Amino acid sequence: MADSLRLATFHTELEREGPGLLLRDIRRGDDPQVLAVAAVIARARADIIVLQGIDYDMDLLALSALRDSIAQKGVAYPHLFALRPNTGMPTGLDMDGDGRTGDASDRQGYGAFSGQGGMAILSRYPVDAARLQDFSGLLWSDLPGALLPSINGAPFPSAQAQAIQRLSSVAHWVVPVILPSGPFHILTYHATAPVFDGPEDRNGRRNHDETRFWRLYLDGAFGPTPVSRFALLGAINLSPSEGEGRKAPLLALLSDPRLRDARPRRPASLRPDPSRRADPSLDTVDWPPPGPGPRRVDYILPSADLILRDAGVDWPASGAALAEVETASRHRLVWVDIDLP
């Protein structure tokens, strides 16, 4: 009998300003955002969900506490996974070219402290950590064809910085999850936003290469890869047709014959917006003013061998459920239902 699986990805925006504060807020039991995030995750009832924007600690105390909060709403995740992300990891160098060191933008990935805004996985099924592939330590300069930033022909911000700069702003993981019928691989990452930089386009180039990594990976550039029973999912921080950023790697993923784009949609019926190039029903985030507004930036791309049954974006039209998702995050949970033949 084929496995049926619901996959989800959710940028929770649970980052806090200092280490331990997220654990404090979860354990307190009355933080409105934490309660809303737990409710959104519980309502989705995904079998495997990848979370972004959740602070990492070595013993996974905050993640365990969030898992327990979700369990109180009737959905249990006996298996959890997270590794130290690049966010907040000190470098000792000026990584953004502003002449200072020690700022959040001078870390391997933007962060006020090590682990701020990391990634995590909650799963109904066990994770095979022994066969994990963690590419978070890959140097940007070691990526074939790396689109490294420069100013007037010189490495930006410096040759020393480029020599230690990792590709991943958060992480790149390939995580095997053991289903009753065998392993299923989660390919996941959280790319930097392609903005908040200067004419060197450091963030735009990094976002480009963080996404381009996955086609190189699927081509075998970094060793053996799964050829079936996998899904690529996460916060790509890029729209295929709107806003800033270098679109080519994302468009290549969306059209890659090894992947399928389920095009998850909001359940509400939306009128076309003539001022936009994109279909608003595909939006997964709403950045309020002065932000760019609604965009599609969160994705789940199952491998081509999987049978797509349904997909959606948790974005109610109105009422209490809408208030809940808006309290949880500017991003919306995205889910896809698949059958494994």
Per-residue model confidence (pLDDT) at position 1 = 46
Average pLDDT of the segment spanning 164-174: 98
Going by C-alpha positions, the residue among 169, 233, 174 that lies closest to residue 204 is 169
Q: In the predicted model, what is the mean pLDDT of the chain? A: 96
Q: pLDDT digits over 101-146, tens only?
A: 999 999 999 999 999 999 999 999 999 999 999 999 999 999 999 9
Task: Report DSSP state, residue 281.
Answer: G
Per-residue model confidence (pLDDT) at position 76 = 98
Tell me how far apart the alpha carbons of residues 113 and 21 are, in angstroms, rounded to a whole number. Answer: 12
209 has pLDDT over 50:
yes
DSSP string, 189-238: EEPPPS-S--TT-HHHHHHHHHHHHHHHHHTTTTS---SSSEEEEEE---
2 has pLDDT over 70:
no
Q: pLDDT digits over 192-206, tens only?
A: 999 999 999 999 999
Average pLDDT of the segment spanning 5-19: 98
Tell me how far apart the alpha carbons of residues 231 and 298 are, in angstroms, rounded to a whole number. Answer: 13
Three-class SS of residue 141?
helix
H or E element at residue 314: none
Q: To the nearest whole percent, how much of the chain has pLDDT over 70?
A: 98
Q: pLDDT digits over 288-309, tens only?
A: 999 899 999 999 999 999 999 9
More confident residue, 278 or 231: 231
Q: pLDDT digits over 306-319, tens only?
A: 999 999 999 998 88
Per-residue model confidence (pLDDT) at position 60 = 98
Cβ atoms within 10 Å of 88's Cβ, excluding its own:
22
Three-class SS of residue 105?
helix
pLDDT band at 268 (very low <50, low <70, confident <90, very high): low
Burial of 335 by CB count in 10 Å (0-12 exposed, 13-18 middle, 19+ buried)? buried
By the 8 A CB rule, do 16 and 116 touch? Answer: yes
277 has pLDDT over 90:
no
pTM here? 0.96
Per-residue model confidence (pLDDT) at position 269 = 60
270 has pLDDT over 80:
no
Per-residue model confidence (pLDDT) at position 267 = 82
Q: pLDDT digits over 250-264, tens only?
A: 999 999 999 999 999
Q: pLDDT digits over 64-86, tens only?
A: 999 999 999 999 999 999 999 99
Strand order in the sheet with 307-313: 79-81, 118-123, 48-54, 3-11, 334-340, 307-313
